[in-house]
Chain A
Amino acid sequence: MRKKRIVSVIFSLMLLCALVAFFNRLLTPKYSTAVREGSLVGEYYVEADEGREHQVLFLGDCEAYECFIPAIIWEAGGVTSFVRGSPAARVWQSCYLLLDTLEYEKPDVVVLSVFALCHGDAQGEAYNRLALDGMRLSNNKIDAIKASMTKGESLISYIFPILRYHSRWSRLTREDIDFFFARKTVSHNGYLLQGGVRAPDFEGAPEELFDYSLPTRAIEYLDKIRRVCESEGITLVLVKSPMNSAAYWWYDEWDAQVREYAERYRLDYYNLIGSEEIGIDGGDYADGVHLNFRGAEKTSRYFGKLLKEKYFVSTEPHGEAAKQIWRDKLDRYYIERNKFRESEG
């Protein structure tokens, strides 16, 4: 009798867990067709679970995942990479993504996009969710959540997303059903392809700032990233992407602070704005702010060669199996890119 009761309780608990898991999966946004940026962080684990390692890890916000195409970087320089970024990602989120990545592999080089250093506060819950919901549960994820939470957010709602998304019940879409079991891969090793052409609008001078100091909190996490790289024997490289627009202007004062930091700690820093070798022009922007695939390809070809010449000049070439994997990645990239090209006419 007692045995029956125990079995009954265990069965009920298992059923409860299954139901929670089911509704958790159903109600959590899939980010497969709409707001594809939400898939970026989680797609890394597909590579990690297959044991694939990367020579370079890119970290940052849209300046990372809209500018650096790992497939093109490989084509140009033979260097393998992954971009772990999310919209409006903050430096603390990049820091914990680095620590998360180190649970699976150790890249030789970490390239940190520096634009996020101008922010000392969270963008908001919606952007936190894009950065954090895709992370696998771990101490690093919990630390990232704690560092990111804004007023009104709760740690438990990130660990059990159903607590946050239960109200989506009335707003479920076809996407929630179609991608219930498996999400669509939206990125190319973390690069999100964008089409369209709209040049930045530079009417008027950039807005004057009251305070040009980079926030202390951002620098603290930059320090943490630097120390982690030092202790792991990873080369940290700082980069400002070639993107520059009135709304997201990279001020000379910020550049000077980053340059001074790089000199102090003997880090390489590349400001790619206005680079003649890259040759970004108005036709390389998708929406006046972010690069389209043309601009990202120009940037990636340049940076791929730079990575090879500066950091991997004497690295052994990859084996045939790895080369085939990357040839397939390149083919997949070009297929999608050509579809965008054709749709633009």
Chain B
Amino acid sequence: MKRFFCLIMLTVCALALGSCVMKETSDDYYFHANGVDIVPGIHAEDALGCLGEHRSMQSSPSCAFDGEERIYRYSGFDIYTSWENGEEIIERVTVTEDSVATERGIRVGDSFHDVVKLYGRDYEKKGENIEYDGERCRLQFFFSEGKVTSIRYLADE
């Protein structure tokens, strides 16, 4: 009986964790924080529910239709959402502080050399900033004087 009960509890935990795993890509170009994996383009409700309480939220109405564009600010990162066909979708995630790292370990404050060492040279460059194109997500690194100032995950074009 005890074993059966433990099995049930383990199954429930696995299901609960599984519902917070949003990874839908075979590469590691996804945002991970607070036990949540997010790829831009997914429904916001599930992901935001797993992330916990946000520090603040800003909203702006759309020009004509119902729905808003929102910025959910968390400790170390911001999540941008918009509305599509009546559903709130995650548009992009921006890492703003060094409390959160990419899956390969890059944080705000790391050098350009650190990024290229881990992500390679197959990037597009605009000014000081570089962008890597993943399977379902683009990963942008913003620099100032050679140091990462922010990191952004956004959907493929």
Which residues of chain A have a CB within 8 Å of any CB of chain B? Answer: 35, 37-38, 61-62, 87-88, 126-127, 130, 201, 203-204, 207-208, 210-213, 245-248, 287-290
Contacts and interface: CB of A to CB of B under 8 A. Distances in A.
Contacts of A35: 64-65
Interface stretch (B12-20, B35-43, B53-61, B103-111): B53-61
Contacts of B65: 35, 126
B63 interface: yes
Given A203-B56, A203-B58, A204-B73, A210 B129 contact: yes
A246 B149 CA distance: 19
A38 B126 contact: no
A62 B62 CA distance: 11
Interface residues of B, number: 24
B28 interface: no
A245 B60 contact: yes
B131 A210 contact: yes
B150 A208 contact: yes
Nearest to B96: A204
Contacts of B73: 203-204
A116 to B, nearest CB: 11
B69 A247 contact: yes
Contacts of B62: 87
A211 B128 CA distance: 10
A248 B58 contact: no
Given A201-B58, A246-B58, A247-B69, A207 B63 contact: no
23 contacts: A35-B64, A37-B64, A61-B63, A87-B64, A126-B65, A203-B58, A203-B73, A204-B71, A204-B73, A204-B78, A207-B94, A208-B142, A208-B149, A208-B150, A210-B152, A211-B129, A212-B127, A247-B60, A247-B69, A247-B71, A248-B60, A287-B61, A290-B61
A288 B61 contact: yes
Given A210-B129, A210-B131, A210-B140, A127 B61 contact: no
Given A204-B73, A210-B126, A246 B60 contact: yes
Interface string B110-130: 000000000000000011010
Contacts of B69: 247
Contacts of A290: 61, 63
The interface centre, meaning the residue of B56, B64, B73, B127 with most chain A CB atoms within 10 A of its CB, is B64
Contacts of B94: 207
Given A204-B71, A288-B59, A289-B60, 16 more contacts: A61-B63, A87-B64, A88-B63, A88-B64, A126-B65, A127-B64, A201-B60, A208-B142, A208-B150, A210-B126, A210-B142, A212-B127, A246-B58, A246-B60, A247-B58, A248-B60
B62 to A, nearest CB: 8
A96 to B, nearest CB: 19
Contacts of A245: 60
Contacts of B149: 208
A211 B142 contact: no
A246 B58 CA distance: 9
Contacts of B58: 201, 203-204, 246-247
B60 A62 contact: no
5 closest pairs, A vs B, by CB? A87-B63, A247-B60, A87-B64, A37-B64, A211-B126
